[in-house]
Amino acid sequence: MSNSLTSNILEYTLRIADDSLILGHRVSEWCGHGPILEEDIALTNIALDLVGQATNLFEYAGTIDEKNRSADDFAFLRYEREYKNLLLVEQKNGDFAVTIARQFFFDVYRKLFFEALVNSTNENLAGIAEKSLKETKYHLKHSSEWMIRLGDGTLESHKKIQSAVNDLWRFTDELFFQNEVDEALISIGIAVDNKSLISPWKNYIDEIFSEATLEIPAQNWQQKGGRTGMHSEHLGFLLAELQYMQRAYPNMEW
């Protein structure tokens, strides 16, 4: 495997892993704070699924990384600009409606993405995608039902979920980011053509929004940067918490 190909696969793998790790950490912040006991448990399980996905991807990345970094190194010993996660997943939890809207937008994309990635010519990525897809289908079912429940619920719940949608919509275009890394890997059947996911993503959003009596925001301005390491102010604070123990006590073992 050429150095350039290995570098591209590593970059691509870390993007997927970073999305899972950062969103998993965000959702884990709900543990013990869910609006009802059942939802507290559901969110905690979703967080565990996402962190598990990140672990599998980081471990694979470690097998091809020329610096011989481990899964823990990737998670705890990189700096903010080295993370390539979507801006969407690092946004703060806000109220329950914000968390659900953030999860919903991501889940719709992630399900479509993993459905395509299972056909990758890279057996490691295809295998991780197949396992992750089962979990992601549950995540999407969960967030879709809550979008409908909140949108078509009380006046207050409708107001809150529509407000969350309006606030987070500007981060959705980055879901379909592609650059020369993607193009090179798409040409040999490894990566997913994100552009092909735009139409089914929008169709599913429209379907759920119709049932939830929600509206697509009229404001189409989009904010990007996460995929190239340019993050919002929130990621630094998240990493300070996520990485604290490893930074304070290097190589600590339980």
Domain CATH code at residue 136:
1.20.1260.10
Cα–Cα distance for residue pair 74/3, rounded to 1 Å: 19
The overall average pLDDT reported for the chain is 95
Cα–Cα distance for residue pair 133/110, rounded to 1 Å: 8
With tokens 């289908």, the residue in question is 137
Find the mean pLDDT for residues 77-93: 97
What is the torsion angle, in degrees rounded to the nearest 10, for the CA atoms of residue 88, residue 172, residue 200 and residue 42? Answer: 30
Return the pLDDT at 1.
65
Find the mean pLDDT for residues 86-114: 98
In a domain, 254, yes or no: no
Return the pLDDT at 34.
76
Higher pLDDT, 198 or 245: 198
CA distance to 97, 150, 168, 169, per residue, from 155 (Å): 13, 9, 20, 21
The residue range of the domain holding 39 is 3-215+223-248
Instruction: Grade residue 161 by pLDDT with cuts at 50, 70 and 90.
Output: very high
State the DSSP code for 194. G
Higher pLDDT, 11 or 254: 11
Cα–Cα distance for residue pair 148/164, rounded to 1 Å: 14
Dig out the tokens for 30 from the structure. 């709900």
Instruction: Grade residue 239 by pLDDT with cuts at 50, 70 and 90.
Output: very high
pLDDT of 133 higher than 80: yes
What is the Cα 14 distance to its own chain's centre?
A: 12
Instruction: Name the H helices within 68-122.
Output: 71-76, 87-90, 96-117
Q: Are 222 and 170 in contact (CB under 8 A)?
A: yes
pLDDT of 5 higher than 90: yes
Q: Which amino acid is at 143?
A: S
Number of domains present in the structure of the chain? 1
Dig out the tokens for 220 from the structure. 């189409």
CA contacts within 13 A on the Cβ side of 198: 10
pLDDT of 111 higher than 80: yes
Cα–Cα distance for residue pair 105/100, rounded to 1 Å: 9
Find the mean pLDDT for residues 122-139: 98
Return the pLDDT at 37.
74
Instruction: Grade residue 254 by pLDDT with cuts at 50, 70 and 90.
Output: low
* Each residue's pLDDT tens digit, 166-219: 999 999 999 999 999 999 999 999 999 999 999 999 999 999 999 999 999 998
The CA-CA-CA angle for residues 65, 50, 193, to 5°, reads 65
pLDDT of 86 higher than 70: yes
In a domain, 253, yes or no: no
Find the mean pLDDT for residues 112-139: 98
With tokens 């993007």, the residue in question is 15
What is the Cα 236 distance to its own chain's centre?
A: 17
Least confident of 32-41, 114-123, 228-237: 32-41
Instruction: Grade residue 130 by pLDDT with cuts at 50, 70 and 90.
Output: very high
Dig out the tokens for 229 from the structure. 């390491």
Handedness of CA 240, 242, 245, 251 (dihedral sign): negative
Return the pLDDT at 227.
97
